[in-house]
């Protein structure tokens, strides 16, 4: 199986572009201090499975299957947020997204906004894409999964927006890894709780996302949230580990720090739908998500998560 078939491979160049927008870390300085300029794509480092990591020698590694899982989760997130908000806009006009879709098809309109309505309507169901994300996250992907992903259109209007979320989400993950190197976290191992070093690296990456130009910040924040949501599907009991704070603590620390008014509604929609599905699937807990009251569902979800 050739990993190069995964669509995310085509996006690696753009991650470099994303890094050129980062202002709160001097990446050139880190490179002078020994950070390797190139990301090595690998599923294992020293015999251990990885998602993303940075060695004390300054080599950043990234698992292609993990990267594909993040892309798939961003796909789900965008479908959820844009579908729900577009449906709401339609309802205000006394119509539905389905009706709008039919009228766009009939008219043959090829304006970008018309094409986007068609692609949004046709985009795969968000729950199916989460299932696909889990496959890659857990590294079970088989030939059919690769074929399926190879067929995804990452260059249409919808795919391009997923790419924007993915690159920013991935940029945040790589910044986290880079921070371990930049701040020389290895030297301090044993003196400070490793969990606080992880939180420290998370915080540097959040600050970088907040400092992004406003035009890309919203998709960066949502992409980053999607990458943290993905982690829930690999730890269904939210078992604490010594080296990381629990997934819900990491997600909501980020949520409270970086979700601003520009993306609050979309962030609420994504978190409410994804985590209510997660609670139902793994803990049989029902949290109803009511249209226009997703914020309340998120509050309820946070309470339930604390009890796990």
**CA–CA distances in Å: residue 186 to residues 57, 195, 202, 263:** 10, 13, 16, 35
Closer CB to Zn ion, 9 or 245, in the complex: 245
Binding residues for Zn ion restricted to 34-73, rule: CB under 5 A: none
Strand partners, 131: none
Phi, psi of 52 (to 5 degrees): -145, 145
Q: Cα–Cα distance between 116 and 153 in angstroms, integer?
A: 13
Closer CB to Zn ion, 201 or 225, in the complex: 201
Least distance to Zn ion from the beta carbon of 173, Å?
Answer: 9
Closer CB to Zn ion, 50 or 238, in the complex: 50
Stretch that binds Zn ion, among 98-106, 198-206, 258-266, 283-291 (CB under 5 A): 198-206
Stretch that binds Zn ion, among 69-77, 117-125, 193-201, 278-286 (CB under 5 A): 193-201
Binding residues with Zn ion: total (CB under 5 A)? 2
SS3 of the chain: helix, strand, coil, percent, to 5: 65, 5, 30
Closer CB to Zn ion, 68 or 205, in the complex: 205
Binding residues for Zn ion restricted to 199-218, rule: CB under 5 A: 201
DSSP 244: B
Closer CB to Zn ion, 82 or 177, in the complex: 177
46: left (phi over 0), alpha (psi -120 to 50) or beta: left
Least distance to Zn ion from the beta carbon of 180, Å?
Answer: 6
Least distance to Zn ion from the beta carbon of 14, Å?
Answer: 23
Closer CB to Zn ion, 45 or 115, in the complex: 45
Least distance to Zn ion from the beta carbon of 148, Å?
Answer: 31
Three-class secondary structure of residue 189 per DSSP: strand
Closer CB to Zn ion, 116 or 182, in the complex: 182
**Sign of torsion over alpha carbons 43, 45, 47, 49:** negative
Closer CB to Zn ion, 205 or 276, in the complex: 205
Stretch that binds Zn ion, among 22-30, 80-88, 192-200, 234-242 (CB under 5 A): 192-200
Q: Among 302, 307, 197, which residue's Cα sits nearest to residue 252? A: 302
Least distance to Zn ion from the beta carbon of 174, Å?
Answer: 11
Least distance to Zn ion from the beta carbon of 194, Å?
Answer: 9
Stretch that binds Zn ion, among 102-110, 195-203, 216-224, 253-261 (CB under 5 A): 195-203
Structure tokens at 303: 């309470």
Structure tokens at 215: 């035009």
Least distance to Zn ion from the beta carbon of 198, Å?
Answer: 5
**CA–CA distances in Å: residue 264 to residues 54, 132, 201, 225, 255:** 32, 26, 23, 12, 9
Least distance to Zn ion from the beta carbon of 19, Å?
Answer: 18
Structure tokens at 220: 């960066």
Stretch that binds Zn ion, among 33-41, 197-205, 232-240, 262-270 (CB under 5 A): 197-205
Check if the beta carbon of residue 169 is closer than 8 Å to that of residue 199.
Answer: no
Quote the distance between the C-alpha of residue 141 and its chain's center. 19
Binding site for Zn ion (CB under 5 A): 198, 201
């Amino acid at each position: 199986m050739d990993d190069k078939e995964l669509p995310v491979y085509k996006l690696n160049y753009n991650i470099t572009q994303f890094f050129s927008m980062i202002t709160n870390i001097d990446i050139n300085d880190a490179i002078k201090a020994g950070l390797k300029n190139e990301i090595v794509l690998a599923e294992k480092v020293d015999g251990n499975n990885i998602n993303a990591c940075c060695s004390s020698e300054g080599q950043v590694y990234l698992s292609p299957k993990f990267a594909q899982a993040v892309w798939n989760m961003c796909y789900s997130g965008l479908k959820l947020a844009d579908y729900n908000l577009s449906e709401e806009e339609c309802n205000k006009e006394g119509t539905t997204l389905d009706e709008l879709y039919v009228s766009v098809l009939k008219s043959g309109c090829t304006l970008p906004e018309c094409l986007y309505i068609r692609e949004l309507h046709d985009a795969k169901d968000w729950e199916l894409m989460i299932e696909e994300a889990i496959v890659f996250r857990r590294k079970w992907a088989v030939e059919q999964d690769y074929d399926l992903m190879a067929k995804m259109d990452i260059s249409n209007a919808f795919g391009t927006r997923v790419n924007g979320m993915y690159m920013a989400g991935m940029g945040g993950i790589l910044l986290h890894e880079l921070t371990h190197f930049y701040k020389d976290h290895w030297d301090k191992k044993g003196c400070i709780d490793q969990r606080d070093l992880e939180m420290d690296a998370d915080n540097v990456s959040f600050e970088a996302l907040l400092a992004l130009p406003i035009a890309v910040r919203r998709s960066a924040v949502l992409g980053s949230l999607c990458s943290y949501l993905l982690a829930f599907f690999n730890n269904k009991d939210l078992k604490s580990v010594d080296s990381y704070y629990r997934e819900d603590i990491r997600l909501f620390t980020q949520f409270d720090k970086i979700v601003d008014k520009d993306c609050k509604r979309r962030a609420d929609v994504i978190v409410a739908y994804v985590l209510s599905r997660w609670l139902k699937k793994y803990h049989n807990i029902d949290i109803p998500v009511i249209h226009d009251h997703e914020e309340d569902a998120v509050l309820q979800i946070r309470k339930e998560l604390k009890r796990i």
